[in-house]
Amino acid sequence: MRYISTRGGIAPIRFKDAVMMGLADDGGLLLPEMIPSFTSAELESWRGLTYPQLAFEIISRYVDDIPADDLRGIIDRSYATFSHPEVTPVVRQDGVFILELFHGTTLAFKDVALQFLGNLFEYILAERRERLTIVGATSGDTGSAAIHGVRGKKGITIFIMHPQGKTSAVQALQMTSVLDDNVHNIAVQGTFDDCQDIVKTLMNDLEFKQRHKLGAVNSINWARVLAQVVYYIYAWLKVAQAGQKVLFSVPTGNFGDIFAGYVAWQMGLPVQQLLLATNENNILTRFINQGDYSVGQVVQTVSPSMDIQVASNFERYLFYLFNRDAARVRTAFAQLKNEGRIVFSPDELAQVRHDFCSASINREQTLATIGSFLKETGYLLDPHTAVGVKAARDLAAGDMLPVCLATAHPAKFGEAVQEATGQPVPLPPAIQRLLGLPTRCALLPADQQQVRTFIEQHVE
């Protein structure tokens, strides 16, 4: 399998090189040259598989430059760190299915991808006798999952920027309490989009990128999307009969998670539609419902991991929407840069509405959903998951089979959940362990030059 760029500017590369490149050298995002498909008979034959076994079946179709046993080892090590034997179990609550993606070390779905990516990096670096400097931006969950994915790993130094004061207390603690020498936290005085812009600027500086062997852990890394494809298929196998279609409701920020669902669908998974659920940062909902893709200001919400305006993985979907026309992708992003918006044709918008439906759920609705869901079912939702559950209740027709992705454990966003229920959230052991630990973190303005200097001073 070879990988190409959405902007058409690189020669096809193999999987390991795609993992190490992160953002494509032409500024685009990497995608497999073709999406491998499976038949319904193959899908049925996977019903009895464990999560790691299924992960191998899916992931190995995209990887032809790692021996099968080594790939199995990487997958097994990644999912052994999860506290639930099923890794991503599905529970049924009041007519909706909840796909619990929060049983990893940092209690959010990003562990599913970042444990895999951390082990993949370690494997490739050891083989090539190389080193890697990871530079990433986080609205909270990516950073903690990435840090836990690579802490103490040989050959890797990680720099994670988060917007100062805009993550939850637990998220900040999960990052800054990691004192391993190879881990550097930077609190940036700005928004998540500022942090992401700084990463993009550094990554687009090819001289800097090559000198420090920069790599990405943001969902721009293809390996992350790939790891996430697995749980859509795993969930389908748990809830659907042969041929039955499922509606996946996905609380969305950077579009990485829902894009993995799109890939699973293109591979052959029976999907009805993808429900893209947003908070008040609803550029993607406006796009799907009104055809208006224009960037606004980021507002702070009770689901901070979705406080994003420019969703980087959206470019991957646009590549398919534009029938794989890289020139059209380049024009669209030039337009976005110059005019702050992308204009779509009626045919393109019709395709978008075939693939997605969408709802934007505000703060009151989110908190009310957490409260009412707890009363009706005894099940506690985190604010991100509540956005998806509320959207599914509003949009899923009676004959549909909705699966809501539970992207975080409620204790990770305890402040908001307590506001919704009036009760403190019981802390799981993974959080209790952190309280009172010493922390380390640098504070910098939202200025790429100062971040660049900090990295140069601290890279090993």
Ligand X SMILES: *Cc1c(COP(=O)(O)O)cnc(C)c1O
Q: What is the 3-state secondary structure (H, E, C) of the chain?
A: CEEEECCCCCCCEEHHHHHHHCCCCCCCCEEECCCCCCCHHHHHHCCCCCHHHHHHHHHHHHCCCCCHHHHHHHHHHHHHCCCCCCCCCEEEECCEEEEECCCCCCCECHHHHHHHHHHHHHHHHHHHCCCEEEEEECCCHHHHHHHHHHCCCCCEEEEEEEECCCCCHHHHHHHHCCCCCCEEEEEEECCHHHHHHHHHHHHHCHHHHHHCCEECCCCCCHHHHHHHHHHHHHHHHHHCCCCCCEEEEEECCCCHHHHHHHHHHHHCCCEEEEEEEECCCCHHHHHHHHCCEECCCCCCCCCHHHCCCCCCCHHHHHHHHCCCCHHHHHHHHHHHHHHCEECCCHHHHHHHHHHEEEEECCHHHHHHHHHHHHHHHCCCCCHHHHHHHHHHHHHCCCCCCEEEEECECHHHHHHHHHHHHCCCCCCCHHHHCCCCCCCCCEEEECCHHHHHHHHHHHCC
Write down the least CB distance from residue 270 to ligand X, Å.
22
CA atoms within 13 A on the CB side of 128: 15
Q: In terms of CB distance, is 408 or 455 closer to ligand X?
A: 408
Write down the least CB distance from residue 279 to ligand X, Å.
9
Q: In terms of CB distance, is 119 or 305 closer to ligand X?
A: 305
Q: In terms of CB distance, is 285 or 305 closer to ligand X?
A: 305
Q: In terms of CB distance, is 52 or 104 closer to ligand X?
A: 104
Write down the least CB distance from residue 306 to ligand X, Å.
5
Write down the least CB distance from residue 432 to ligand X, Å.
20
The binding site for ligand X (CB under 6 A) comprises 108, 110, 141, 219, 251-258, 305-306, 384, 407-408
Q: In terms of CB distance, is 110 or 390 closer to ligand X?
A: 110
| 245: annotated active-site residue | no
Write down the least CB distance from residue 28 to ligand X, Å.
18
Write down the least CB distance from residue 291 to ligand X, Å.
21
Q: In terms of CB distance, is 164 or 252 closer to ligand X?
A: 252
Which residue of the set 110, 200, 209, 390 is catalytic?
110
Q: In terms of CB distance, is 40 or 83 closer to ligand X?
A: 83
Write down the least CB distance from residue 406 to ligand X, Å.
9
- Taking each helix axis from N to C end, the angle separating 256-267 and 222-239, rounded to the nearest 10 degrees, works out to 60
Enzyme catalytic residues: 110
